[in-house]
Amino acid sequence: GAVVSQHPSWVICKSGTSVKIECRSLDFQATTMFWYRQFPKQSLMLMATSNEGSKATYEQGVEKDKFLINHASLTLSTLTVTSAHPEDSSFYICSARVAAGGQETQYFGPGTRLLVL
């Protein structure tokens, strides 16, 4: 299957700082990537859809100025958590969309654990 990587795998930062998370599709090109957030013992919640070369589409309730998404190339999307606060601590997961044979499937990265002190 398609391989998606994320960097870093975990990060600890001070409140008020910004953190950038990278999501890469390693062996394929992805015009669309997705960013999810997963709270402990809960399911994945879609934050935004990232489209190469255009603005991201954010889900209701997600602050676009707080979670900046850039999809500058077909293999890289970045999520920047700006002015992070302790409530932003979470597990952030990206996925990339693969459409082959008319079947569209998402492949997920390993996630980035963010802890804001």
| Site mask for other proteins (CB under 8 A), range 25-64, x = bound | -------x-x-------xxxxx--x---------------
Compute the least distance from the CB of residue 96 to other proteins, in Å: 11
User: Under the criterion CB under 8 A, does residue 68 sit at the interface with other proteins?
Assistant: no
Distances (CA, A) of 42 to 11, 20, 53, 94: 21, 23, 32, 16
CB-nearer residue toward other proteins: 92 or 116 = 92
Compute the least distance from the CB of residue 6 to other proteins, in Å: 8
Q: Where does this chain touch other proteins (CB under 8 A) — which range of 20-28, 65-73, 80-88, 90-98?
A: 90-98
Q: Under 8 Å CB-to-CB from 9, ≥6 apart: which residues? A: 110, 111, 112, 113
| Other beta carbons less than 10 A from residue 100's beta carbon | 9
Helices (H), 18-116: none
